[in-house]
Chain A
């Protein structure tokens, strides 16, 4: 008699092997070099791709199942938030300016991260990283979509949420995060992994996500918090992928060590400069603060990052030198960056404002070495002027750093009253950078950075006006035309929060919800 033998189910390890390495094949009518043309030019030597270990061993079928479950939960919360006028539960509508910054400056980068990981996955000859990059590419587009969905609810009620994609490619301060990702995306697959997989997702991610997500929780923004939870388990996977990739490169060949070190140095500094936007968000834009930028830097970078670099020391990797500079700047970054956005707030896609006395006391307590010494007097003066109807708007375009593209507001580490200037000459042209870190990056690859799309220069070239604009007509107002090209409505989307439509509407609607006539 024939016995029916029940087929044994595959174990996780076996299943992972089948669903990753088992899917690979050897090209027959093309050479491997022709199929993977970007695998070697960066100088990274790989001897055995099978040494790649994916610590998660996640297969595509399991991945879809987990993600679908998370999506269901997220959209249920988003619906409830929208139906119950969740926006009226915010601490204050000032908070929404942080969300605007997130939507215009970060969500489109999630999409860029999607493209970058898809490209890296395509270009790695090893199947392990290819599958891991594929999943991260899908994660990133999911993050981009869910953020846009979560935040779009605010677009029904408040200004500045209407055209984030258009703005990313045009608005001056958004060139800071945009150029960061463009720089990484135009590098090879290995540098991309160090730039985004390691430096951004591993070393700096907590400095980006914790402030925004905790900021959302502290300020009653349940939509954004729920998105944050939905992304959290993905982020853990991304961090592991970034670290695995670095270790893999370092273990494959000792010649890889100096290349990887150079990339870590570069991307740590690029990251620090981009995060100056987050620093001002934490210290100035949240009505209810989570922690100061300085505290976040100390916990998430100096302590956690310090432990990470101790771990990497056995491969010969050192902590990037530029970061000692960043530990001086932690006392100043948020105040200096907020000063930039405050004075150029006429051309920003969100509202700016000066802190109240109570908020200044908080800043003094958090920054005992610097706030009262340098910044309190400045901000008090600006606030007094605003109250007298003389709100300060800088009416002349700023000089920008050729690499990080932030206005040149960084001061010398030993003299906080002196702007730091660094200059390079390349093929008869002058290039200006804001710091030793940015100058080193420029000098290492000048050919790349001479192509930078610097918003200020582009405006002066006449490239930032709506089609058909004639800048030679009598009484031409360049700022008005630039704002039109940005799709910003003057007086609605920009300028001070005090007196804004957002402020007026929020107070009126919340009044209806909480008070009698």
Chain B
């Protein structure tokens, strides 16, 4: 529904991709690890290899968690907006079709938080 207003009410979105200096937003959540209270927000160029996300970027964010040391990212399963998502370590974010403000979730089989608690 439109906003009720006394005159034309049209504005550009505050967060469109052109404002991020060539990069785009990507949200990532490691499911079953609520030690990290919410999904994380990254600002990455679309030519970032997915491998870099998994091997360089995520470890810096999630490395504090004791489960991280056992994570094998090649076995992780991924969702994009809640739907199964096929990844390829050798492709870039752009080649995988990831757009500005997409949200990814991944599960690491057998690793479900401290003592399996989801934390």
Contact = CB atoms under 8 A, between A and B. Distances in A.
B82 interface: yes
B94 to A, nearest CB: 16
Kindly state the interface size class of chain A when it binds its partner: 35 or more
A432 B103 CA distance: 9
A474 interface: no
A153 B60 CA distance: 42
Interface in A233-288: none
Interface stretch (A21-29, A416-424, A492-500): A416-424
Contacts of B76: none
B34 interface: yes
Kindly state the interface size class of chain B when it binds its partner: 35 or more
Contact of A451 (B14, B31, B35): B14
Interface string B1-22: 1111110011111111001110
Interface string A436-453: 000000011101101111
B119 A457 contact: no
Contacts of A460: 20, 23, 25, 41, 43
Given A396-B42, A447-B2, A432 B27 contact: yes
B40 A397 contact: yes
Contacts of A484: none
B37 to A, nearest CB: 4
Contacts of B5: 41
A457 B25 contact: yes
Contacts of A336: 37
B64 interface: yes
A429 B16 contact: yes
A381 B100 CA distance: 35
B102 to A, nearest CB: 7
B67 interface: no
Contacts of A43: 4
A392 B63 CA distance: 11
B34 A41 contact: no
B38 interface: yes
Given A429-B101, A452-B14, A398 B41 contact: yes
A340 B2 CA distance: 34
Interface string A402-425: 000001110000000111010100
Nearest to A408: B38
Contact of B10 (A37, A378, A444, A447): A447
Contact of A419 (B29, B42, B100, B102): B29
B42 A462 contact: no
B118 A41 contact: no
Contacts of A453: 14
A377 B41 contact: no
B91 interface: no
B14 A450 contact: yes
Contacts of B81: 421, 423
B58 to A, nearest CB: 9
A490 interface: no
B61 A395 contact: yes
Contacts of B12: 450
A218 interface: no
Given A381-B119, A396-B61, A452-B14, A445 B36 contact: no
A443 B2 CA distance: 9
Interface in B20-55: 20-21, 23, 25, 27, 29, 31-32, 34-43
Given A381-B119, A398-B41, A430 B101 contact: yes
Nearest to A259: B4
B70 interface: no
Given A378-B34, A378-B35, A461 B20 contact: yes
Contacts of A400: 41
B4 A42 contact: yes
Contacts of B21: 461-462
Contacts of B34: 339, 378, 417, 419
A388 to B, nearest CB: 12
B52 to A, nearest CB: 15
A427 to B, nearest CB: 8
A396 to B, nearest CB: 4
B103 A339 contact: no
Contact of B101 (A37, A42, A432, A443): A432
Interface in A182-222: 188
25 contacts: A41-B5, A340-B37, A378-B34, A381-B114, A392-B64, A394-B61, A396-B41, A396-B61, A397-B40, A398-B41, A408-B38, A417-B118, A423-B103, A429-B16, A429-B101, A430-B99, A432-B103, A444-B1, A445-B2, A447-B3, A447-B9, A448-B3, A454-B15, A457-B25, A460-B41
Q: Which 7 A-B pairs have the closest CB atoms?
A: A417-B118, A460-B43, A407-B38, A396-B61, A450-B13, A399-B39, A408-B38
Interface of A: 37-38, 41-43, 188, 336, 339-340, 343, 377-378, 381, 392, 394-400, 407-409, 417-419, 421, 423, 427, 429-432, 443-445, 447-448, 450-454, 456-457, 460-462
